[in-house]
Chains A and B, each alone.
Chain A
Amino acid sequence: MLAIKNAKVITITNGVLERGTVLIENGKIKAVGTDIEIPGDAQVIDAEGKYVMPGLIDAHTAIGLKEGGMRWEGDDHVENTDPVLPHLRAVDGFNPEDVALQDAIEAGVTTCGVMPGDANVLGGIGFAVKTSGSVVDKMVVAEVGLKGALGEQAKRMTGGKRMPATRMGTAAVLRQSLLKAKSYAKKLEKAKENPDKEPDRDLKMEALVKVLNKELPLFVHAHRADDIMTAIRIAREFDVKLVLVHAYEAYKVTRYLKEYDVPVIYGPNFSARWQVETRNLREDTPAVLAQEGIKMAITTSHPSKPVMLLTFCAGLAVRDGLCREEALRAITLNAAEIMGLADRLGSIEPGKDADLIVLDGDPLHLMTQVEKTIVNGEIVYSSCC
């Protein structure tokens, strides 16, 4: 058993405990509170003067897929040979030895959403991964969404050699794929009564059926407000769950995000405006989204910005008007909820995974250092030794 005592505990869901204790057993949080008895045999971390909070979560990265310190050799992010590849699985391209994973651990990021494709209309299934480990199969938390893309990258990927070359084309390709999957799903349904009618297995269709069944949301890369509205239009036509990624112009369409209950994985919130569609990047968008009651996670979109700067991104959002509590939620619980993992991750509550970090100061303060990172109850990083 591991016990962290005397810490300022930011639970996320139950406020901040002054001089709190967290008990950890079998990789899970056993108890959290201010008057918890620590068993005599427990390994004790005295966190006097320190902060403890849940391990940070970045819901949208290409960590392990687009590796640091390499060019094409370590780039397995976008399979740019076909716009419709929903059956790709990010887990098959993930290298646990990406140097950025160590950065993540040292910066207190314990879970990342790993998403393939930024350019394919349908780019494959992304998963959540714990950042500590040596074999991906042991690090996987769950599949979390099917990645899609609208806007400039999607229409440029094929270089005009085939559809899509326009935003109309991108939408048509997405609709056609979902429609095809719908009839595949119908055949599957019929086959339940008559196994002879079972359609041939089709990996692409099977992936899309998960979206139609709402087992997985569609994570759609979109920047411009019109692309966001296209994503909403198509999601409603097919009654699928939608998560928006990047969404720089979300501030223009908050009314619709609210009305259709669409969460946003926003970011990176500091960046050059590389493309025409990113021209309207505004620093106050996280504050606006929170104010309008839209569920928002903040992402570095690693490697767009390094994953080690996740709290930095949250700090900038606070500088630009987001309240501190929302900023901390946006890199913990909200990210977990958007990935459907809030039962396991994102806050310090009994029963949840013991993913915790110990910091020497306020997490949003630039000079604050992570002193310890704990994943599944194991201390995987210690700054001092």
Chain B
Amino acid sequence: MLAIVGGKVYTITQGIIEDGTILVENGKIKAIGEDLDVPADAQVIDAQGKFITPGIIDAHAHVEIWEEGIGWEGMDVNEHTNPITPQVRAIDAINPEGLGMRDAVKGGITCIWNAPGSGNVIGGHGVTMKTYGKVIDEMIMLEPSGIKAALGENPKGYGRRGKMPATRMGSAALMRETLLKAKKYLAKIEKANGDEDKMPDPDLGMEALVKVLRKEIPLRVHCHRHDDIMTAIRIAEEFDINISIEHATEGHKVVEELAKRNIPIVVGPSLTTRSKPELRDRTLKTPGICAQAGIKVSIMTDHPIMQVRDLHLAAALAVKYGLSEADGLKAITINPAELCGVGDRVGSLEPGKDADIVIWTHHPFDIMTKVEKTIVNGEIAYSRCCDNENCCR
């Protein structure tokens, strides 16, 4: 048994415990509270004066699918041979040994939604995964936990190679056609009613999209501009599916539209420049404005666009520009956990949940903060042994 004693504990869902104790057993949180008895045989971590949060969750990243420190050899983020690739799976391209994954653990990021890029209209399977482990298969929490899709400038890149889509109209048409095809595929399955002879020819992409049509998982649509957001909403309503808006750079312009439909958004990456026209109206106020209206806001790094380990600072900047501190913490814990289909397992400190815990030297929104310890599944995955940043790598 592991006991974390002392420290200011941010449970996220059950308030703040000023001087808390957390008991961990068999990879799960066993108990949490102010005056818990610590069993004599427990390994005790003294967290006096420290800040404790659940493991941080990055709702949208490409960690080590787009590998760091090597060139094209490690670039596996966009299968840019076809704008519709629902059959491809992020898990087949993730290098768990890469620099970014190690940094994630070091930065207190214990869980990520790791997904294909935004080059394709339908990009493929995203995975909700832990960041600590040797092989991806043991790190998977839920897969697919969402299908990546994209509107706006990026997928239009196909037009330059003489292929559809070359316009926003083209992207929308391809998305519709693909969902229509999946709808027919689903109809055939339902009609077959278990009769193998009547089943459609197996199609990996269609099977993934059937999960979307059945609302088992969301279509997670990359949109920056508000007109692209409205296109995503239009198509979602036509096909009666759940979506999230990824990036939502102009989310603040269509707050009511998002709020009345309960569409979650994942904002970011914020520590970057406005490198293209669809980012021109980017403001760090978007998370605050949207959360105020009741929209469920998560914050992403979009690693490596912004480094995964800096997620807490992206949330801090959102707080600087109007998001409440509580919503800022939710945006990197429970909100992404729920969006990524694992809200019952991670995202808050509660008995029965996975023991994914971060011990910080300062409040996570203080720029001076460092991670003291990252605990994943009850195991100490990272421990800062001294002030030499590179000693503990």
Spell out A's residues near B (CB within 8 Å): 68-71, 99-100, 270-276, 278-279, 282-284, 302-306, 309, 312, 315-316, 318-321, 364-367, 369
Q: Which of A312, A319, A366, A369 meets B370, CB within 8 Å? A: A319
A319, B368: Cβ atoms closer than 8 Å: yes
- Given contacts A274-B68, A321-B389, is CB(A68)–CB(B275) below 8 Å? yes
Q: Does B162 contact A (CB under 8 A)?
A: no
- Given contacts A321-B389, A366-B316, is CB(A70)–CB(B276) below 8 Å? yes
Q: Nearest-CB distance from A196 to chain B (Å)? A: 53
A305, B276: Cβ atoms closer than 8 Å: no
- Given contacts A69-B276, A70-B277, A272-B304, is CB(A366)–CB(B389) below 8 Å? no
A271, B307: Cβ atoms closer than 8 Å: yes
Closest to B369 in A: A319
B68, A305: Cβ atoms closer than 8 Å: no
Q: Which residues on the B side are within 8 Å of A367 (C-beta)?
A: 316, 319-320, 365
Q: Does B279 contact A (CB under 8 A)?
A: yes
Q: Does B326 contact A (CB under 8 A)?
A: no
B303, A272: Cβ atoms closer than 8 Å: yes
A366, B367: Cβ atoms closer than 8 Å: yes
A366, B277: Cβ atoms closer than 8 Å: no
State the CA gap A312–B274 with chains docked (Å): 18
Ranked nearest first, the 7 interchain pairs of A and B with the lowest CB-CB distance are: A69-B280, A272-B304, A279-B69, A303-B273, A68-B274, A366-B367, A273-B68
Binary CB contact string for chain B from 293 to 323 against chain A (1 if under 8 A, 0 otherwise)? 0000000000111110010010011011000
State the CA gap A184–B271 with chains docked (Å): 46
State the CA gap A275–B73 with chains docked (Å): 11
Binary CB contact string for chain B from 363 to 386 against chain A (1 if under 8 A, 0 otherwise)? 001111110000000000000000
Q: Which of A99, A272, A316 meets B68, CB within 8 Å? A: A272
Q: Which residues on the B side are within 8 Å of A276 (C-beta)?
A: 69-71
State the CA gap A309–B389 with chains docked (Å): 22
State the CA gap A304–B275 with chains docked (Å): 9
Closest to B279 in A: A69
Q: Which of A279, A305, A364, A369 meets B272, CB within 8 Å? A: A305
State the CA gap A283–B391 with chains docked (Å): 12
Q: Which of B274, B304, B317 meets A366, CB within 8 Å? A: B317
Q: Nearest-CB distance from A246 to chain B (Å)? A: 15
7 example contacts (A-B, Cβ-Cβ < 8 A) are as follows: A68-B275, A272-B68, A303-B275, A305-B272, A319-B367, A366-B365, A366-B366
A275, B71: Cβ atoms closer than 8 Å: yes
State the CA gap A367–B305 with chains docked (Å): 23
Q: Which residues on the B side are within 8 Å of A100 (C-beta)?
A: 273-274
State the CA gap A316–B271 with chains docked (Å): 13
Q: Which residues on the B side are within 8 Å of A318 (C-beta)?
A: 368
State the CA gap A60–B367 with chains docked (Å): 23
B100, A306: Cβ atoms closer than 8 Å: no
Closest to B284 in A: A308
Q: Which of A271, A306, A321, A364 meets B367, CB within 8 Å? A: A364
Q: Which of A69, A283, A284, A302 meets B277, CB within 8 Å? A: A69
Q: Which of A275, A279, A315 meets B368, CB within 8 Å? A: A315
Q: Nearest-CB distance from B390 to chain A (Å)? A: 6
Q: Which residues on the B side are within 8 Å of A274 (C-beta)?
A: 68, 304
Given contacts A99-B274, A306-B273, A321-B387, 16 further A-B contacts (CB under 8 A): A68-B275, A69-B276, A69-B279, A70-B280, A71-B275, A71-B276, A270-B310, A273-B69, A276-B71, A278-B69, A284-B390, A316-B367, A319-B368, A365-B367, A366-B316, A366-B365
